[in-house]
Copies of this chain bind each other. A is one copy, B any other.
Amino acid sequence: MSGPLPVAPTTTRLRPLGLSDVRITGGFWRQRQDVNAEATLAHCLDSMERTGWIGNFHAAADGLNRKQRPGREFSDSEIYKLGEAMAWEVGRSGSAVAAAELSKLTEIIRPAQSADGYLNTAFGQPGLPPRYGDLEWGHELYCYGHLIHAGVADARAGANSGLLEVAIRAADHVCRTFGAGGIDGICGHPGIETALVELFRLTGKAQYLDQAAIFVSRRGRGRLADTDFGRDYYQDDIPVRDARVLRGHAVRALYLAAGAVDVAVETGDDALLDAVIAQWDATIARRTYLTGGMGSQHAGESFGDDFSLPPDRAYSETCAAIASVMLSWRLLLATGDPRYADQAERTLFNVVATSPAADGRAFFYTNTLHQRTRGQLPSANTVSPRPSTNLRSSWFEVSCCPTNVARMLASLAGYVASADARGLQIHQYADAEIRTELDSGLPIGVRMRTDYPDDGTVTLEVSDAPPTAVTISLRVPPWADQRATLTEPGGSVRPVRAGTAAVRRVFARGDIIRLKLPMKPRWTVPDPRIDAVRGSVAVERGPLVLCVESVDLPDDSDVGVLRVNPATAPVDRDGSVIVTGELVEPPHARWPYRGAESPDGSASHPIEIPLRPYHSWAERGPSTMRIWLPTA
């Protein structure tokens, strides 16, 4: 069919193209995929060997009595996510190294599995707590979710390390244990729902879909104990189909929503799908950062109230961004609405790409939009607490983000394009070779060439064309509305609106379609209800959110005292975007609130302020940074 697919729905409006059908060949994302393959996979493996998280599997296999197990209770999931990343890497590049490492990992994982399929190195072993005694915090089902995703990837990518069999045994155990008549419970951390549906899609066995549907429908009814953050922390406050907005722990909320979409499209449950769509709409309109980041609260790693989006205390977890892309992609396939691809693009360029360092060996866990202090660079091989640093860290006590970035980058080609009965849809722009068969069985192929996001021109050259009329469509982001142009084969040029620009005809090999997106940097203004950024503007250029870093200012000036002049348009110059403004020297007040009649007392002098892509910030050492720029 389409080659290795991260998401393979059977009934959605659009049919995704997998890693054999879409090959990213160059540019922004290919460069990151190469770093991922060459550095990140090994870095994650090394880190988990060093921290003992891999050794936990040996200990479990040997039945050791352990009082001092290293790692958090869910550290197994990181090994599975790494396994999934390795499988996609095999699918992406055919890497023999990744295949060999994955086989080794599988041989480490397999012996730790009990005869009945149970598999977790933190529970059910001598000296460790019993199985399923702590569904709130134990994460056992969550870990299975990542195991199953890895097993499915292993099979789909043709790695065939044997991880699928391990995953199936675990999934069968889950169905027996948590199915009708079993434990009437759910996991504190969603994640198994998408995995079970994907296993159903791979194997065709309805029991996995049924079990996923059971988990989705059980949630929201107070089965889990209350927490200091409330039951919304793990979405056990309101049933999925009744909720109106995403809330609580952002990663949990987004994984659950993705699983609910999967269940909805496979069971034809339109009401459930509509509920998630409405939640997505509300979340995008009121609870999402300009970067696409989600989760504004450090406490509980959670969504805050509507419009409570502080840039300086943004949590915006990398994993939440990845989960958001997973959800957007599923909704795009289900509905065909390009808004979901717009959101995925924003999130990919401005959060997912922000997390990993250029060398692929350090990561942001949180992705703040305003860094007030310079912070300190953690030393290599340090295990950092999650929120304690605002510079990229080698590894974390809870280290979900590095392996999540790895699996997303390795499978990214699976989020680029889709097909349907009428033709081919391009959702994301990158140098790529795309070739698939239409429902008719006829082939269609295009070569996509672009320097996006540096440049706004995307050229499609038809490399394979059926002899019948088909539609090739390209997404036009909202910021390009009416300023983008489309050149059809033959040369006719027309302006296009935000949404989808489509060309329908009988294509010939060599036909060229050219989309030109306007890349002039532009001022962006926030909704007045986002109190935390009132009186501020941001600059975007194409899909990229820009920021100012103190290292680019004279004397490494604090970005806290900048003002910009939005009456003057931002301009491109020497690889930066320049805006004009002033540097303020605030008065030395003993009390930071003054009577309106007393003078401000601050002085200022004009300055040119260079802005650069947010995704590359903090690559040059400690710096203060901000995306939202106060106006003069």
Residues of A within 8 A of B (CB): 226-230, 281, 284-286, 288, 290, 297-299, 304-308, 310-313, 339, 370, 372-373, 385-388, 397, 478-479, 522-538, 560-561, 566, 584, 586, 588-597, 600, 602, 628, 630
Contacts and interface: CB of A to CB of B under 8 A. Distances in A.
B537 A534 contact: no
A373 B308 CA distance: 11
6 contacts: A228-B388, A281-B590, A339-B590, A525-B593, A528-B630, A537-B596
Contacts of A524: 593-596
B285 A297 contact: no
A229 B228 CA distance: 17
Oligomeric state, in copies: 2
Contacts of A372: 305-308
Given A310-B313, A372-B306, A528 B586 contact: yes
A422 B529 CA distance: 55
Nearest 5 A-B pairs (CB), nearest first? A527-B592, A523-B596, A535-B535, A298-B299, A534-B535
Contacts of A299: 297-299, 387
A393 to B, nearest CB: 13
Given A372-B308, A523-B595, A593-B526, A297 B284 contact: no
Contact of A522 (B228, B596, B628): B596
B285 A589 contact: yes
A284 B591 contact: yes
B230 A388 contact: yes
Contacts of A530: 592
B527 A586 contact: yes
B594 A560 contact: no
B531 A532 contact: yes
A297 B526 CA distance: 24
A73 to B, nearest CB: 15
B529 A307 contact: no
Contacts of A307: 372, 560, 592
Most chain B beta carbons < 10 A, residue from A297, A529, A628? A529
Contacts of A286: 592
A339 B230 CA distance: 40
Nearest to A372: B305
A589 B527 contact: yes
Contacts of A533: 531
Given A305-B372, A312-B532, A527-B593, 7 more contacts: A230-B385, A285-B590, A298-B298, A305-B312, A310-B532, A526-B593, A531-B532
B386 A228 contact: yes
Contacts of A284: 590-591
Nearest to A384: B228
Given A372-B306, A531-B370, A534-B630, A525 B595 contact: yes
